[in-house]
Chains A and B, each alone.
Chain A
């Protein structure tokens, strides 16, 4: 379980997060919705230790990780996967090498075992044919699939997805959302997604959080949000 209590963050005079409190249950898919600049990505990056909060705490499985050193975070992140908005694949590696990289770094698997594992993951995300391609040769959707494969190849228990459908057409958005849901269920991992893609978030998320100007204004299921009387939420999910 991930528990966030009283999280606040500012960059200079600009307050990005204000007293954010949320609990993310094991195995659930939580979608964080909000306008651009509402603080979603910054919040997500706090959960994986890329930012340190000015105030508040982040607890993962009962362990306070707020003030861990970068070296401790590097250890902890081996159990987490992070899908970047643009994929952030290494452009000097092929898709296969990108996905194999975490296995080479953090396991003692032999080359043959790594190949079996990577092939299996690439098949799961539908990229077997693109294994030898470089990221520059892939479409936006393929890049995200490859990045998702890399994020989960170690069997991560938590996956963070930053705007996984941004820049994709509606069909590809639906595909990648379904893939995230399938992967999450199959690996039984906790998944946190930031998005402003309301329809796909409603389809795949167990619960949703709505951010506005760095503050959480609603937490609940799809039905609960639809029943909300808050004007902003009504407008946002319309």
Chain B
């Protein structure tokens, strides 16, 4: 009897595992087909630039304040921590380099993308999801318009264009946050701090972070639009798919950041 129960439990566990794996594979395949459809529109030049500009405003301009606050705080905290540690070795002037390099190479691209995903990405998924459950996607098709071209492409293109700009802005504000602490807390002369900052950032440092950001922009747009586009289950579904969109974006940003960092360090230094 106990054997039979154990066997039944094993069968149930296996069937769950198989279903999970098959769902994952089907989901990944669908997401890739979705990306193909988007890229197909982009390659064919089917981009509605007026919509893209509107999305740039909604995703980008409306994210500026939150990005600025978070970046300023990150730069300031980095400088505070760095100052405490470097001061032990009598090297407090290097705070400027620590802040600038950390922000430009890693922190701003990754944490800025997290913030962007939580704000603009969630908005994309919720917007498309709501349109989906309210039949607006189907309505678009019945009006003879491709919903991917009309609703998804402008959002993804805007995401791709706006995130690098936001991250450069975030780096500048973060460096200013570090400068603020460096000047008023660590008492580093202003000219020294600025000189150290400018001297420390090379093209490679800046562009390695910048290219990552381009990739993250595409990733966030893709994941969030895909989740929104395939939302099911009414208002409850909108909440679930939006949460999934943000969670998947975070996971993919972290994993791809690891891979991209390794590639950049290997081939570019």
Contacts and interface: CB of A to CB of B under 8 A. Distances in A.
Interface of A: 48, 50, 70-71, 73-78, 80-82, 84-86, 88-91, 101-102, 105-106, 150
Contacts of B134: 86, 88, 91
A84 B135 contact: yes
Contacts, number: 51
B142 A106 contact: no
A88 B141 contact: no
Nearest to A78: B144
Contacts of A88: 134-136, 138-139
B146 interface: yes
B143 interface: yes
23 contacts: A48-B142, A50-B142, A70-B146, A73-B141, A74-B144, A77-B141, A77-B143, A77-B144, A78-B144, A80-B142, A84-B138, A85-B135, A86-B134, A88-B136, A88-B138, A88-B139, A90-B131, A90-B136, A90-B139, A91-B130, A91-B131, A101-B143, A105-B144
A105 B143 contact: yes
Contacts of B142: 48, 50, 77, 80-82
B190 to A, nearest CB: 47
Contacts of A81: 142
Please classify how large the interface on chain B is, using the bins under 10, 10 to 19, 20 to 34, 35 or more: 10 to 19
Interface in B104-159: 130-131, 134-136, 138-139, 141-146
Contacts of A86: 134-135
Contacts of B130: 91
Given A74-B145, A80-B142, A88-B134, 5 more contacts: A76-B144, A82-B142, A89-B136, A105-B143, A150-B143
A150 B145 CA distance: 13
A102 B141 contact: no
A90 B150 CA distance: 12
Contact of B146 (A48, A74, A84): A74
Most chain A CB inside 10 Å of its own CB: which residue of B131, B143, B146: B143
A231 B141 CA distance: 39
B199 to A, nearest CB: 48
